[in-house]
């Protein structure tokens, strides 16, 4: 075999010099650009700003303000969390505070509250901290109850310090319930808004 032929090829496989990039045909380059543009358009059509224009053409603020928030069904001695949650949702959904907005939807909720005490002092045998676990089942329906737009479950926790003074512990637990209600309300509002954004005729 001649040396000149062997210098550019090895066993019939073409080699390239270091630092030399392979040339891409113009047709292949154009095809790649068209494919990338098509993917960008498809992805842009799939995503819609959460609080931008909705599929129905109505403003998100107007749709949220049209939701009537019912009382939260809670077990006995747990009504305080339900009260905080309803108050947060009324404020979050109707930030304008205009009671004259016609109601078109009804938000129904049923919640439960559980207190956990994972940290116990080895000297006093008393719980040093408590964790409140809140779970809320919610359903957004038409005002007449004939149609369900969305339903789901929101869950959150809030931790507070427990003191040997009973009043201080009760105050800390109440503050934790208020924080818990804010987190739950934010979850529910976000999920409702995501559904109303894409529904053409909510």
Q: What is the pLDDT of residues 161-199, one digit of tens each?
A: 887 788 888 899 999 999 999 999 999 999 999 999 887
Question: Does residue 133 lie within any of the structural domains?
Answer: yes
pLDDT digits (tens, 9 = 90+) for 121-167: 666 656 778 899 999 999 999 999 899 999 999 999 999 888 778 88
Domain that holds residue 111: 60-198
Question: Does residue 20 lie within any of the structural domains?
Answer: no
pTM: 0.70
Higher pLDDT, 45 or 19: 19
Cβ atoms of 181 and 189 within 8 Å: the answer is no
Res 124: pLDDT: 62
Question: Does residue 127 lie within any of the structural domains?
Answer: yes
Q: What is the mean pLDDT of the chain?
A: 78
Question: Does residue 147 lie within any of the structural domains?
Answer: yes
Which segments of 96-176 are extended strands (E)?
105-120, 127-142, 148-161
Rounded to an integer, what distance in angstroms lies between the CA atom of residue 163 and that of residue 48? Answer: 48
Rounded to an integer, what distance in angstroms lies between the CA atom of residue 56 and that of residue 162? Answer: 49
Question: Does residue 7 lie within any of the structural domains?
Answer: no
| CA 72 vs CA 64, 69, 113, 137: distances in Å | 18, 9, 12, 10
Cβ atoms of 74 and 82 within 8 Å: the answer is yes
Question: Does residue 85 lie within any of the structural domains?
Answer: yes
Which CATH number fits the domain that encloses residue 88?
3.30.160.150
If you count them, how many residues does the chain have?
202
Question: Does residue 53 lie within any of the structural domains?
Answer: no
Helices (H), 111-165: none
**What is the number of domains present in the chain?**
1
Question: Does residue 29 lie within any of the structural domains?
Answer: no
């Amino acid at each position: 075999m001649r040396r000149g032929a062997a210098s550019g090829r090895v066993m019939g496989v073409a080699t390239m010099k270091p630092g030399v990039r392979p040339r891409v045909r113009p047709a292949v380059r154009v095809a790649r650009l068209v494919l990338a543009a098509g993917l960008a358009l498809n992805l842009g059509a799939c995503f819609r700003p959460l609080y931008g224009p909705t599929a129905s053409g109505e403003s998100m603020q107007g749709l949220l303000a049209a939701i009537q928030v019912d009382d939260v069904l809670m077990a006995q001695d747990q009504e305080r969390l339900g009260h905080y949650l309803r108050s947060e949702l009324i404020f979050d959904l109707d930030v304008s505070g205009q009671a004259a907005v016609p109601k078109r939807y009804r938000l129904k909720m049923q919640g439960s509250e559980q207190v956990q005490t994972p940290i116990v002092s080895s000297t006093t045998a008393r719980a040093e901290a408590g964790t409140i676990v809140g779970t809320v089942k919610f359903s957004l329906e038409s005002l007449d109850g004939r149609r369900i737009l969305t339903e789901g479950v929101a869950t959150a926790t809030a931790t507070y310090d427990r003191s040997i003074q009973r009043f201080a512990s009760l105050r800390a637990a109440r503050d934790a319930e208020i924080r818990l209600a804010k987190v739950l309300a934010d979850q529910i509002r976000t999920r409702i808004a995501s559904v109303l954004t894409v529904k053409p005729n909510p």
